[in-house]
Structure 1
């Protein structure tokens, strides 16, 4: 499989080059040259396959020419070693729990797969790979844990000062070893801009071997398609249309769902659920794409004013009317999100995090507009404990910290304060 840039100003590259470079030289995003459909027999037998077997088949469908079967199977089984259960709140409303990995967030899937794949590609290299990753919360912790102590790879995590929860911050600032955290005096968009600028800086790229671990990296995106198949497997009544509701910030998760659909998964509709950062819902309603500075909300992992994966979405659809046919968009305020968390607890005795609450609201809006006779699946992207300071007041009780994560709160934060000025960031990297 070759991978091309969405800007199509550079020649296609191999999987290895796409994964290790992260970004094409023209500042586009890598996409597979084609998306092969999975055979009919795969879907017919889906319910008899384990999650790891499904993940391997999906990965092999896209990457089978690039990684030997035995190695790819090992990579998948090492990375995808936790479940993605579908919890039914009602006949039509289902929650896909994606928080059963190391850092209690859906990004564990992509980060662990990418770490294993990158480790495979650099196993015989002499030069260290320097990974740069901007985070608004969950990405940093997932990448840090995924790459912790992977030989030949260092990770630098950039995060906005004061704009991630204490629990999230502890997850990626307490590890040390090959993980460095930079506390940037700015927004997530500033962090992302620093990472992108670093990749375009000739002096840096000549001295350091840089790569990215954000969802802009194709190795993060592909494994996010795995759990769409796993969710569909668990649906009891497959005669009803299946609608996936995706709480969205950078839109990597939704883009992965689009890949799954193009591989043959029978998805009727996608719903893009956002907070006040409603760039994509606005685009779907107006036809105008207008990036803007991000707005801080209680669902902070979605506080993105210029979604990086929109370039991939635009590449898949080419025009807004085609995108509207597959994706509906809804946006909600913090106040509505708080009410939704309360409603889900009272109505279903289920504790949902702010991002899942935005998804729940979008599903309600979608069913109100298009009817309730569907399998509505909301992606619950993070464990509510990661946002306990927001969730607990709404449900009137403390959110219990999973036992395996308690130790983090006792650990000392290790981060380096830094301005949002690129020259400061470049000086730091040049000293590495």
Structure 2
């Protein structure tokens, strides 16, 4: 099966790419926490519809994208690959810097790529409600939109730090028909237990996951939807990298020297990088992939590679990943989408195998990079995406080579302007450092 389309939607890939088919060592299986044995499709169906459960465990290289999903994709894909010439000039580099800009989607981020697919597969099995967590609100708004498209109610637990600091994300979720709660809440057993132990907590994605999973498991008409981390989410995001490969060819470029993305749960970076890594694994390219994570939540650079729960209270399958521990509560940094204690098992595996190199970025450096991009290219990047920009700028300033660099700009920051406002008085141009 080819991964490019020749039918009514020629700009949209016909299949998602599954890196599990090409890795020299298999991704470690998820484990049933009760038995310690590899999780099965039947067991996963307590949380997900069968189609997504099968995708989660699949080792097929390409998995067809259903036409109803491609039809929705076609309304906003391909997202642009932009040559950042003014940023290049500001940095004094001869490298070619490209931005794969997912801020062109309806909600302003890459998250609809999986939300649309998950809502579709759930609707096909008659599910009427989806529960989920969200950090910055990009995933929550994406699932709320997808639920509206496919006739599914959506209930979202938003991490308290972001619920309080990013009200416009909540308004967007509600505009699309979603129901939003601050997490931890008093609506679930998990939330009440957390509040009793940590009444002043700023929340975490792990806590919000626990609440969403609990509600889904108690309702036979509901299922849980995850915005990152799991294999099927990473799979859906590979439309990003497949498009970027084709777009680079249109610019007359070959395989890039460097691909850089921010990494919180891992779906954005993996979705961009995995199609490029296919040629690295086969020996046909030597592209370097850099994962830029926040220094406040450094799962890849300081975490342990081991089995851990994906949520705070231990309700999910055990996942082999880089983790700071399910109890870890990050500082309430502005990049709410990167405040997760672990990392996607598939991305963690590529880091462990040496295909991806992680770096930790300080919040000040991230926002300095975001401000520089805004002042050179006119794009205000999401706080999450600024980490990838900072890592790219560091790389360019430390290397004199002429390189082709692709940066995953996972979303726009138009709803995050208060975050930028707080950094303007201390802005330091990283190009002049």
TM interval, short-chain normalised: 0.5 to 0.7
TM-score calculated relative to the size of structure 1: 0.68
Matched, 1:290 2:310: no
CA contact (8 A) 1:79 1:116 kept: no
SS state at 2:371 partner: helix
CA shift, 1:139, in A, is 0.6
Give the paired residue count.
Answer: 342
User: 1:188 maps to which residue?
Assistant: 205
Stretches of structure 1 that go unaligned for 5 or more consecutive residues are 37-60, 65-71, 397-432
- Mapping 1:23-422, distance limit 5 Å: 31-36=56-61, 61-63=62-64, 72-82=66-76, 83-89=78-84, 90=88, 91-119=95-123, 121-122=124-125, 125=126, 128-136=127-135, 137-148=137-148, 150-151=150-151, 153-164=152-163, 165-176=166-177, 179-185=178-184, 186-198=203-215, 204=218, 207-216=220-229, 218-235=231-248, 236-239=251-254, 241-257=256-272, 259-261=274-276, 264=279, 268-275=287-294, 276-283=296-303, 289-291=323-325, 292-307=328-343, 309=344, 311-314=345-348, 316-317=349-350, 320=352, 322=353, 325-368=354-397, 372-392=401-421
TM-score calculated relative to the size of structure 2: 0.68
SS state at 2:182 partner: strand
Give the Cα separation in 1 of the matches to 2:245 and 2:55: 27
CA shift, 1:31, in A, is 3.3
Stretches of structure 2 that go unaligned for 5 or more consecutive residues are 1-17, 22-27, 32-36, 89-94, 185-202, 306-320, 426-433
CA shift, 1:262, in A, is 5.8
Give the Cα separation in 2 of the matches to 1:100 and 1:335: 26
Inter-CA distance 73–343: structure 2 relative to 1 (3 Å threshold)? same
Give the Cα separation in 2 of the matches to 1:331 and 1:35: 33
